[in-house]
Amino acid sequence: MKIAVIGAGSWGTALALLLADVGHDVRLWVFEEQGSNEILEKKENVIYLPGFPFPNNLVPSHDMAACMDEAEIVLTVLPTQVYRHVLPNLVPYVKPGMVFLSASKGIENNTLKRVTEILHEFLDPAGVRQIGVVSGPSFAREVAKKYPTAVTVAFEDETMAKEIQHAFACEYFRLYRHTDLVGIEFCGALKNVIALASGMVEGLGYGLNTRAALINRGLVEIMRMGLVLGGDPTTFSGLAGMGDLVLTCTGGLSRNLTVGRELGKGRNIDEIISSMKMVAEGVKTAISVKQLVEKMGIEMPISEKVYEIIYEGLAPAQGVVELMTRSLKSEKEIF
């Protein structure tokens, strides 16, 4: 198949390498022309995923028209907050039969839209009807190393989910299918906020008891929000739910965990972000979660403390104290 991958960060590059390895004809859209030229010259993404040579059936390009030409599947792998800036450049090359699949994890600030909702906003007028999401515990470098990985792909039309399963699957990459875009996208977005908190736990010097409690209560918050907004209960114990949450809250390759760890050590968020090449989605998603909490009146204490630490100057250690001294509750209380 001809596949366009829009976004050449570490995850976009890893997925492009995977799809090329499966045997597809892959075009990788690179935001900066200089970056595209460098990848072409060196035959690898030396900035975001060095050490993994590009095969001949994976071609990077800054030319959106060239990437989209004859594409049957368009895989978007962009930071959530830039979709609205990139999509107008993509829409002129969209054809009604194209299938779109998001591999991004976040909620747009202010509009509070999921990525597939943003895609529908731009693509429905162009006649695109098949828009799905792929998510799950999947560090880019480990996929590029061909370590066995399992994720979830979801479309409202399960038949299309089956087609993508077969198109992407290989001996080291396995996909399960679902129809719950709402739950899967909220899991993917909110786990990054909880991972920031998990990093703070580490940076403060706390142990495994603290981290285990944080992950569990973080999952409760994700369920609380996801269920209210229409998510399927089975999603939260699945790969895109608990699976991705555990990975992002414990794995050394997690950008959000890394940012949280530095916050726990007392570093300033602007200083941390300026020293990173890649985006930690949880930092911006914390704003969207705060806005959702205020809009819907849902209690999400961990996520709210993450927001207060990043944007209101609350000391991480004080945030822990405030969480631990809240009024005592029954564990049966989800809502």
Tell me the catalytic residues.
Answer: 191
Token readout for 54 is 């590009």
Cβ atoms of 191 and 222 within 8 Å: the answer is yes
**Angle, helices 281-296/301-311, rounded to nearest 10 degrees:** 120
- DSSP state, 54? P
Q: Is 43 left (phi over 0), alpha (psi -120 to 50) or beta?
A: left
Which value, to the nearest 10 degrees, does the dihedral of the CA atoms of residues 54, 59, 61, 67 take?
Answer: -140
Q: What share of the chain is helix, strand, coil (3-state, %, to 5)?
A: 55, 15, 30
Question: What are the DSSP calls for 181-237, one per residue?
Answer: HHHHHHHHHHHHHHHHHHHHHHHTT--HHHHHHHHHHHHHHHHHHHHHTT--GGGGG
Q: What is the 3-state secondary structure (H, E, C) of 22-46?
A: HCCEEEEECCCHHHHHHHHHHCCEC
Token pair recorded at residue 293? 């909490």
Strand 25-29: give its sheet, edge to edge.
58-61, 25-29, 2-6, 73-76, 99-102, 131-135, 149-154, 173-178
CA–CA distance, 266 with 256 (Å, rounded to integer): 16
